[in-house]
Amino acid sequence: MKANLLVYGAIAVVIAVPGFFIAKDLLSTPSVGDCARPTGELEMDETDCASPEATYRLVKEETKRSSCPEGDYFVQTTQRARKTGGKTRHCYVLNVKEGDCLKRANAFHERVTCGTGGSQRVSKVTGGVDRSLCGDHEIRTYSEPATTICLEKS
């Protein structure tokens, strides 16, 4: 009887532990329209758009051989399951408003307190693509949704 319980207990652990990690990964993966935060090297986790960590928003996923729309998207590429094959490109835009401050951290931007060494302040966010709006400042433009973001040293 005790041996059966040990066997059943071991089987439950072998099934439950990987299942937990798979479910956790599926639940934290952003969908189009969701906001995201960088979690590691080129990886994103879904987060509440109101969170200070929500530096990006997923606006498009491309599963064909095409790339993201024209613009300065942060692109995350993932391999799809063997049956369907190929790759999925996740196209992210900065999730910012005027007055936010960002700092480049590896491949990502992260929201920081203005005045932090090396930070940039978002000086303008407009609907539309117009690279002339930002003068000599750093520019991010996106065609979908049409947006121009100007970044200046803070």
- Binned at pLDDT 50, 70 and 90, residue 142 comes out as very high
Domain residue extents for the chain: 1-29, 31-153
pLDDT tens digit sequence for 104-127: 988 899 999 999 999 999 999 999
pLDDT tens-place string over residues 57-91: 999 998 877 889 999 999 998 876 666 567 889 99
The string of DSSP letters for the chain reads -HHHHHHHHHHHHHHHHHHHHHHHHHHHS--TT-EEEEEETTEEEEE-TTSTT--EEEEEEE-SS--PPSB--EEEEEEPPTTT-SEEEEEEEE---TT-EEEEETTEEEE--TTSTT-EEEEEEEES--GGGGTTSEEEEEETTEEEEEEEE-
